[in-house]
């Protein structure tokens, strides 16, 4: 396929607002999903995960919602802070032959928090 | 606990050369995975090692190889470098075979530039 820079979806919010980042996944057999945050110059950092037998899971200021019917994940960040500015990736876990597992990552959403 | 450590952080190589990247997983983690991150393709799975055995490999040419040592440290090697190999190479580790209750933890990557 064409190899150009990924045009990341972007989301710009005001400090203190809630943020919602959406992700569509591809494999209906995937049963485990993870959200990662990647700041500039760093590797992806684990935020929160959810198994397919759940619809919702809450962490500290973050909530993940899973809709298996439409293969959709969302990450909600409450009271967004400037430190939340980063690229956010969803990932679905696919098990491979031999028992190995790989994560299939979405293209990411760039969140910018304005002070 | 120290996180995943990757060395070197930056590397500049010339087309046709080869390169070896190093990764030290989190203490106690037996699984090490490698991912390539580029603006065009996003995050793509390279391979996973568990207890010194390659469990699976992504869709990359044979120029990409790796190994894992008895102390779980891992190296990946890219031979006959091409311009398109310029990317951020990320290493990630987890405790067991599955991400359930032990999600992948990433290092900050090695930025490889091929000129």
Which region among A88-102, B40-54, B69-83, B84-98 has the lowest average model confidence (pLDDT)? A88-102
8 A C-beta contact, residue A26 and residue A104: yes
Question: What residues pair up with A98 in beta bridges, in sequence order?
Answer: none
Flag if B43 and A99 touch (Cβ within 8 Å). Answer: no
Whether residue B56 and residue A97 make contact (CB cut-off 8 A), yes or no, is yes
Q: Does A35 touch chain B (CB under 8 A)?
A: no
Mean pLDDT computed over A11-34:
93
Cross-chain CB nearest to B56 (options A41, A42, A102): A102
Mean pLDDT across B68-92: 97
Task: Say whether pLDDT at A4 is over 60.
Answer: no
Confidence of residue A94 (pLDDT cuts 50, 70, 90): confident
**A49 contacts chain B (CB < 8 A):** yes
Nearest-neighbour CA in chain B from A45: distance (Å): 7
**Mind telling me how many Å the CA of A25 is from chain B's nearest CA?**
15
**Structure confidence at residue B102 as a pLDDT band (50, 70, 90):** confident
The reply to whether residue A102 touches residue B99, judged by beta carbons under 8 angstroms, is no
**Chain B contact present for A45, CB below 8 A:** yes
Residue A100 has a pLDDT of 73
Q: In angstroms, rounded to a whole number, what is the distance separating the alpha carbons of residues A64 and A54?
A: 10
Which residue among A3, A97, A98 places its CB closest to the CB of B40?
A3
pLDDT exceeds cutoff 90 at A99: no
Q: Is B25 helix (H, G, I), strand (E, B) or coil?
A: coil
- Cβ–Cβ contact A34 with B under 8 A: yes
Give strand ranges (E) for chain B: 5-7, 10-13, 19-24, 31-38, 42-50, 53-57, 64-68, 74-78, 87-94, 105-106, 110-114
| Angstrom distance (rounded) from CA A108 to CA A23 | 8
Per-position DSSP letters for A65-82, written without gaps between them: EEETTTTEEEEEESS--G
Average pLDDT over residues A98-111: 85
- Which of B41, B58, B109 is closest, CB to CB, to A102? B58
Reply yes or no on whether the pLDDT at A1 is more than 60: no
pLDDT at B71 > cutoff 80: yes
Q: Residue A101: pLDDT band by 50, 70, 90 thresholds?
A: confident
């Amino acid at each position: 396929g064409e190899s150009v820079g990924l045009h990341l979806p972007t989301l710009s919010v005001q400090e203190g607002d809630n943020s919602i980042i959406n992700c569509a996944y591809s494999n209906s057999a995937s049963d485990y999903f993870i959200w990662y945050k990647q700041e500039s110059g760093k590797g992806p950092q684990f935020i929160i995960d959810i198994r397919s037998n759940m619809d919702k899971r809450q962490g500290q200021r973050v909530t993940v919602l899973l809709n298996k019917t439409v293969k959709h994940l969302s990450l909600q960040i409450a009271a967004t802070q400037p430190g939340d500015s980063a690229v956010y990736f969803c990932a679905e876990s696919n098990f491979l032959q031999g028992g190995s597992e790989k994560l299939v990552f979405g293209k990411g959403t760039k969140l910018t928090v304005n002070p | 606990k120290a996180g995943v450590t990757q060395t070197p952080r930056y590397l500049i190589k010339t087309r046709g050369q080869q390169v070896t990247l190093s990764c030290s997983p989190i203490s106690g983690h037996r699984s090490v995975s490698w991912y390539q991150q580029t603006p065009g393709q996003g995050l793509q799975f390279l391979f996973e090692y568990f207890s010194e055995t390659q469990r699976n490999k992504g869709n990359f040419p044979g120029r990409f190889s790796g190994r894992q040592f008895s102390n779980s440290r891992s190296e990946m090697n890219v031979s006959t470098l091409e311009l398109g190999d310029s990317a951020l190479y990320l290493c990630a580790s987890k405790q067991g075979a599955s991400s359930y209750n032990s999600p992948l933890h990433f290092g900050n990557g090695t930025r490889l530039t091929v000129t």
